[in-house]
Each structure stands twice: as structure tokens, then as C-alpha cells.
Structure 1
Amino acid sequence: MNQSYINRKLTQILGIVLGMAIALWILRGLGILTFIPGGVIWLLLLGAIALGVFSYFQRRWWRF
């Protein structure tokens, strides 16, 4: 696998997870999705942050 392919996929997954977390947060704040616990939204946000850090180090460290 090409390294730029992996970076592109990680960036796409980061965008999807972050977008889902923000959309859920907004919809829950508006009262539309009140049944979703806050912990799920926090897990999505922390997962997006972890993917961003992983993607950054993937680009920086050539052996990774």
C-alpha cells in the first residue's frame, strides 16, 4: 500500500467521524436526538482527535 493512500484514507475517516460527532451534538442540542447519551458523542470526538494525531504521526514518521 502506498503511504499517501493510507494518509488519504485516515483523513477521510477523520472527516467522517468528526462530521458525525458534530452533527449528533447539534441534533441532540436541538432536542431531535435526545435518546443518544453524551458519552457516545464524547467517544466520537475523542476518536476523531485520536485519528487526527495518528494521521499526523503517520506523515511525520516514515517507519510507521
Structure 2
Amino acid sequence: MGQFARSWAAKWFFFFLSGAIAVYVLRGLEVITFFPGFVIWGLVLLAILAGLLAALENLR
């Protein structure tokens, strides 16, 4: 396992990314239609932010 996968920010990145994908797929299948679109965008933005933090942490 590389240094990137061990960092705390990378774990949060994969957590938010998998959450966003799960919500997007379930909303598309009309299983959870009550989530507004900004919830998905929020999860995607959190995943991007965590990915950037992981990349910055990896540079140190």
C-alpha cells in the first residue's frame, strides 16, 4: 500500500467519492428521490477537497 492510500485525507477522499457515487446511482434508480441535487454536488466537492488535501499532504 502506497503512502497516498495511508493518509487520512485519502481515506476521506475515497469515503466522500464512494458516497457521492452511491447517492448518484440510487437517485438515478429512483430509490432515494428525496435528496436534492445540491447534496450530490456537496459530496462531490467534499471529495475533490479531500483529494486536494491528500495530494498536498503527499507533497510534504
In the aligned structure 2, how far is the partner of 1:10 from the partner of 1:53? 8
Aligned to 1:9: 8
Aligned length: 56
- Bigger Rg, which one: 1
Identity percentage over the alignment?
Answer: 36
Aligned to 1:34: 33
**Letter aligned with residue 55 of structure 1:** A
Structure 1 stretches of 4+ with a deviation exceeding 2 A read none
RMSD in angstroms over aligned alpha carbons?
A: 1.3
How many angstroms does 1:58 deviate by? 1.2
**Letter aligned with residue 42 of structure 1:** W
